[in-house]
Structure 1
Amino acid sequence: MDGVTAVHEAYRAHYRRLVGQVYALTGSLPEAQDVVHEAFARALARPARFLAVNDPETWLRTVAMNLARTRHWRQRFLDRLIRSGRAGPPDDHPGLSPDRVALMAALRKLPRPTREAVVLHHLADLPVAEVAAALDVPVGTVKARLSRGRTALARHLTDEPISDERTVRYA
């Protein structure tokens, strides 16, 4: 199989899943789609290199996450421009289901490192060890971030007060 064919097959196999993961990370579906498309474009730019990759989905996820991080920092710069009055605010996102909006809002409240761990583990279904490798942090750090992230999400997503932060009530 040639590299271009490998990229096309990877697109069919992994595109939707990667968009879902990056969407949960960024909170913006168009941005997630754009970042994942850019990751595939980079694979197509060097198909022989992509063919040599052991795990295409992991490679694409890493590229997409790095692109999302870069965009995050650029967005922070734009936000500073808006606050300074040198640029106008961006348009709002199109309507989404209330549950999706609540989840994305809760995820956005988490610190970025915690959000990345939660998205990779719970939405990308990666084991803790793979999350640690993807984020280049120790396994214990990932476990701590996941614990803090679940507690914070429970607090943000429930209508009832949580008496013990370690106990999450499910309806």
Structure 2
Amino acid sequence: MADADTFAEFYRATYRGLVAQLVAYTGDLGEAQDVAQEVYVRAWSRWRRISAYDDPRAWLGRVGHNLVISRWRRARTALAGWTRHGPPPPAVPGPDPATLDLVTALRRLPEPQRRALVLHHLGGFSVAEIARMEGASENTVKARLSRGRQALAPMLTAADPQEVRQP
């Protein structure tokens, strides 16, 4: 308990001076208070060692200065990235309802049929390419495509997406 008491006393005696020092470095009271909080968290975790120093206050000032420099470097790096790459791209709009209906219907198909349809119609692969990728014959891929289209057609022609039927 003695450590907590001595640290609390040290904190009360040094806080204002540390924040004033950090405001001079940063030019911003809020940032200075944030850095001071980090300094005291670090000091508390090392308090037994720091309290034995000739001038523990000097340790606070040094660590505070290093944290301010570190924050400045991170901000500079972020600014350089922003300048080099520009702002982040605008949010991408979500898929349209027809795409959502297609994905929902595709999920209801057996995996081999779904893969064949996606690879052929969305991926642009030929039947021969799909056969090589799947390790199946071309006739098997053709059958999967045909059966998949037959199962998919009634699901996509439903008037209400809630009425999507199982194949």
TM-score by length of 2: 0.48
Higher Rg of the two aligned structures: 2
